[in-house]
């Protein structure tokens, strides 16, 4: 059975370098034989999580949609911007809303448990957003996600893409491919053997 994977970015910005990276990761994973969809968080606008809002209005439709999509998939890859050495609020907020359940009948953390994730980052800076992946990895591990050890941080990201939005440097393109291939292979193994 074909793998069902998702890539997404922790930025809603139109020109986001993390979105570019997440789209490239989608293309690479398709090349590796998986069925892969890029989800743009800009298409799922969410209010900042607030417990009173949740009590009053329930989980927003956009969060329910995202959760349903994640529940169904075998794994996801996140391209995460680094904000002050952590993940972006838009990503944290989406991950938090998705972690909420409508009622006790729904299994806890259903969108996360057993999923295989890979992390990449892009930043105009010299470390490529690598430091932000540390708290993101920790958080996902704590909610039941298998985060693969391979990761990639794209430094100098504002100058890294050519006109076709491909990585201009073949070495960087190769590094991204290595992570994506490890992600697809791990997800395939887990799906096959449990
Ligand atoms: C940043 N940026 C940034 N970059 C970095 O390498 N390390 C950091 O700690 C931070 N901190 C930070 C905080 C805040 C509040 C903002 C808005 C930005 C810069 C960041 O990498 C840059 O804006 C990227 O372009 C964000 O990714 P997208 O939106 O292009 O995907």
> In this structure, what CATH number is given to the domain that contains residue 110?
3.40.50.360
**pLDDT at 119 > cutoff 90:** yes
Residue 194 pLDDT exceeds 90? no
pLDDT digits (tens, 9 = 90+) for 16-48: 999 999 999 999 999 999 999 999 999 999 999
Partners of 9 in the beta sheet? 79
**pTM, 2 dp:** 0.98
Would you place residue 155 in the very low, low, confident or very high pLDDT band (cuts 50, 70, 90)? very high
Residue 83 sits in which domain range? Answer: 4-193
Q: Verify whether ligand 1 is closer than 6 Å to residue 83 (CB atom).
A: yes
- pLDDT band for 186, please (50, 70, 90 cuts): very high
Give long-range contacts, CB 8 A cutoff, 24+ apart: 48-55: 48/89, 48/93, 49/93, 49/96, 49/97, 54/100
> How far is it, in rounded angstroms, from Cα 84 to Cα 185?
32
With a cut of 0.95, is the ipTM above it? yes
Ligand 1 and 125: CB distance under 6 A: yes
Q: What is the pLDDT of residue 1?
A: 83
78 lines ligand 1 (CB under 6 A): no
Pocket test for ligand 1, best of 81, 126, 131, 136 (most atoms within 8 A of CB): 81
Count of domains for the chain: 1
Cβ atoms of residues 137 and 93 within 8 Å: no
């Amino acid at each position: 059975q074909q793998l069902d994977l998702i890539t997404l970015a922790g930025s809603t910005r139109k020109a986001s370098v993390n979105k570019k990276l997440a789209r490239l990761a989608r293309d690479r994973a398709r090349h590796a034989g998986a069925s892969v969809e890029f989800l743009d968080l800009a298409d799922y606008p969410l209010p900042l999580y607030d417990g009173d809002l949740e009590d009053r209005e329930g989980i927003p439709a956009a969060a329910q949609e995202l959760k349903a999509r994640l529940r169904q998939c075998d794994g996801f890859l996140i391209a995460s911007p680094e904000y002050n050495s952590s993940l972006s609020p838009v990503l944290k907020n989406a991950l938090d809303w998705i972690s909420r359940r409508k009622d006790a009948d729904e299994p806890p953390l259903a969108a996360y448990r057993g999923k295989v994730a890979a992390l990449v980052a892009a930043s105009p800076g010299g470390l490529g957003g690598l430091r932000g992946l540390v708290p993101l990895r920790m958080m996902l591990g704590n909610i039941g996600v298998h985060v693969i050890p391979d990761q990639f941080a794209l430094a100098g990201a504002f100058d890294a893409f050519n006109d076709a939005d491909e990585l201009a440097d073949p070495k960087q393109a190769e590094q991204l491919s290595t992570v994506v291939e490890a992600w697809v292979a791990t997800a395939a193994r887990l799906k096959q053997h449990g």
